[in-house]
């Protein structure tokens, strides 16, 4: 048995089985000769409390990664449990939610001692050293902590270059278990932090102040070859916000994959303006190296709305990317958002038009439609709050803030019914499933979309009776 002290890191329950990259990132900077890092992911473990009990007696601290919404609830429950089991063990929260609200969780709950905001690697390493040595925390940048009765927020830590950290140690998790849960040998990886852009619905500009750092292509090549040989994955899922920021990095990266014979498919997120800036040669290299699917956020079919939300893309760039992907047989998810507070019917009509246009290009294009919800940390949310909209006012309330699947505050019941019917007919008319049985319904659905006739959705009723369809959006 190892005599090393333990650092327990916890990923709360969420949907999907993406590998816990945040915990892997902070766990990998810890000196494994000195400490043993235990990652407990509530999405893949059966009895997390029992697991915590096995390790807690020899632990230095308990870290939790938190995104806004339901994960907070589980994070609160587990953190309280940990404090009951060992009242002296420091409980540390980090992640997107504490990056937006560093002080509130500590103010609200005596069982949370420290929060980390912004990039976590260096902060966590320093924090662990301070806790072990018993040094006061006043000079650890990027944290908030309880000091007697007060909550102190220390200064921000500047974003550090991502390649200053070592290789991520995926042996901290059971990689095979994620493959099993996903039903494919898909490996998750992130090659950049932050984003240079300023979209008014997004928290990134607030958290990283429009800074960006990325791992150079050669290092990505080294890392990915190592992981490929070790974990034998067949698909690679980039979790970067803007993977294609530097065209030369992408060109080099694709050449790394090809020259090292890393025979995989890969998926990533692209901004339409960055796609337009890629040369045809790089587009082809992407395809050749295995690019199978892109996610290109369009958000709105109205250029006026796009300008209002400071998306800084042109619709022409979206169509440019659509054409390239169609030509090179690359699938695309083009997500849209409807129901912005000030959105007009004309803007919604423009969005519908663009969605129909994209869907008619290729059966490999999907166009999920989300309803705008005022996630914290964005400029639009700030604006609606200034206009009187009330956001949750405690950590607990933020745990209830889960709008996934709901129509958001600015969409009427009538509009919601309309969108749900539209989404259904899009999927039926243009989706990838092409069973002969459904052919007449498919033609009818295309007719409905082309003529904006969504009333009396009798086919929807029939199909949902025969075979409940899972809508992708």
Q: Which of 70, 78, 91, 445 binds ligand B12 (CB under 6 A)?
A: 70
Q: How far is CA 426 from the centre of its chain?
A: 25
- 376 lies in the site for ligand SF4, by CB under 6 A: no
Binding of residue 113 to ligand B12 (CB under 6 A) = no
Pick 41 or 204: Cβ nearer ligand SF4: 204
Nearest-5° angle of CA 92, CA 378, CA 310? 145
Out of 36, 204, 256, 350, point to the residue binding ligand B12 (CB under 6 A). Answer: 204
Q: Which of 83, 109, 271, 442 binds ligand SF4 (CB under 6 A)?
A: 271
Which of ligand B12, ligand SF4, none does 473 bind, CB closer than 5 to 8 A by kind? Answer: none
Find the part of the chain contacting ligand SF4 (CB under 6 A) among 32-40, 70-78, 196-204, 326-334: 196-204
Phi, psi dihedrals of residue 84, rounded to the nearest 5°: -65, -40
Instruction: Report what 107 binds from ligand SF4, ligand B12, none; CB cut-off 5-8 Å by kind.
Output: none
User: Quick one: which of 113, 121, 240, 241 contacts ligand SF4 (CB under 6 A)?
Assistant: 241
CA angle (198, 199, 204) in 5-degree steps:
70
Question: Smallest distance, Å, CB 204 to ligand SF4?
Answer: 4
CA–CA dist 89, 106 (Å, integer): 15
385 vs 466, which CB is nearer to ligand B12? 385
Interatomic CA distance for residues 149 and 152, integer angstroms? 10
Choose the binding region for ligand SF4 from 44-52, 119-127, 201-209, 243-251 (rule: CB under 6 A): 201-209
Find which of ligand B12, ligand SF4, none residue 16 binds, CB within 5 to 8 Å per kind.
Answer: ligand B12
In the bound state with ligand SF4, the residue whose beta carbon lies nearer, of 191 and 242, is: 242
Residue 330's alpha-carbon distances to 286, 292, 324, in angstroms, are: 10, 5, 8
Residues in region 430-459 near ligand B12 by CB under 6 A: none
Verify binding: residue 190, ligand SF4, rule CB under 6 A: no
Q: Are 241 and 192 in contact (CB under 8 A)?
A: yes
Rounded to whole angstroms, the Cα distance separating 290 from 267 reads: 9
- 18 is a site residue for ligand B12 (CB under 6 A): yes
CB of 393 to ligand B12, least distance (A): 16
Nearest CA-CA partner of 290 in 238, 357, 350: 238
Stretch 215-254 residues interacting with ligand B12 (CB under 6 A)? 239, 241
**Alpha-carbon torsion 145, 149, 151, 154, what sign?**
negative
Task: Provide the binding-site residues for ligand B12, judged by CB under 6 A.
Answer: 11, 14-16, 18, 20-22, 25-26, 63-65, 67-71, 92, 94-97, 99-100, 116, 119-121, 124, 190, 202-204, 239, 241, 370, 375-376, 402, 404
């Amino acid at each position: 048995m190892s005599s090393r002290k333990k650092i327990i890191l916890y990923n709360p329950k969420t949907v999907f089985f993406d590998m816990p990259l945040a915990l892997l990132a902070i766990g990998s900077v810890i000196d494994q000769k000195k400490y043993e890092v235990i990652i407990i992911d509530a999405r893949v473990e059966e009895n997390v409390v029992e697991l915590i009990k096995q390790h807690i007696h020899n632990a230095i601290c308990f870290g939790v990664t938190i995104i806004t919404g339901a994960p907070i609830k589980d994070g609160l429950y587990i953190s309280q449990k940990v404090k009951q089991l060992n009242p002296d063990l420091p409980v540390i929260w980090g992640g997107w939610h504490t990056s937006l609200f560093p002080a509130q969780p500590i103010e609200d709950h005596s069982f949370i001692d420290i929060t980390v905001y912004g990039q976590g690697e260096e902060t966590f390493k320093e924090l662990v050293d301070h806790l072990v040595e018993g040094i006061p925390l006043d000079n650890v940048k990027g944290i908030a902590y309880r000091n007697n009765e007060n909550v102190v927020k220390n200064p921000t830590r500047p974003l550090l270059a991502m390649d200053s950290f070592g290789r991520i140690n995926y042996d901290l998790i059971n990689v095979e278990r994620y493959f099993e849960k996903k039903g494919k040998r898909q490996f998750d990886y992130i090659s950049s932090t932050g984003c240079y852009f300023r979209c008014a619905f997004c928290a990134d500009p607030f958290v990283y102040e429009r800074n960006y750092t990325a791992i150079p292509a050669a290092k990505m090549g080294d890392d990915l070859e190592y992981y490929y040989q070790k974990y034998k994955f067949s698909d690679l899922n980039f979790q970067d916000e803007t993977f294609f920021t530097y065209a030369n990095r992408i060109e080099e990266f694709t050449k790394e994959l090809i020259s090292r014979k890393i025979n995989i498919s890969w998926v990533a997120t692209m901004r339409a303006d960055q796609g337009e800036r890629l040369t045809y040669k790089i587009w082809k290299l992407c395809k050749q190296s295995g690019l199978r699917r892109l996610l290109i956020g369009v958000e709105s079919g109205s250029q006026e709305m796009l300008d209002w939300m400071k998306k800084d893309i042109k619709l022409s760039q979206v169509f440019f990317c659509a054409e390239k992907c169609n030509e090179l047989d690359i699938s695309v998810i083009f997500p849209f958002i409807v129901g912005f507070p000030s959105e007009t019917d004309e803007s919604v009509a423009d969005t519908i038009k663009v969605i129909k246009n994209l869907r008619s290009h290729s059966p490999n294009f999907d166009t999920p439609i989300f309803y705008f919800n005022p996630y914290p940390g964005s400029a639009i949310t700030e604006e609606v709050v200034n206009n009187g909209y009330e956001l949750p006012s405690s950590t607990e309330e933020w745990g209830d803030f889960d709008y996934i699947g709901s129509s958001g505050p600015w969409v009427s019941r009538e509009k919601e019914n309309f969108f749900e019917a539209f989404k259904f007919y899009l999927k039926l008319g243009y989706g990838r499933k092409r069973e002969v049985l459904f052919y007449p319904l498919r033609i009818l659905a295309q007719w409905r979309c082309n003529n904006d006739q969504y009333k009396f959705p009798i086919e929807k009723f029939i199909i949902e009776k025969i075979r409940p369809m899972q809508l992708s959006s």
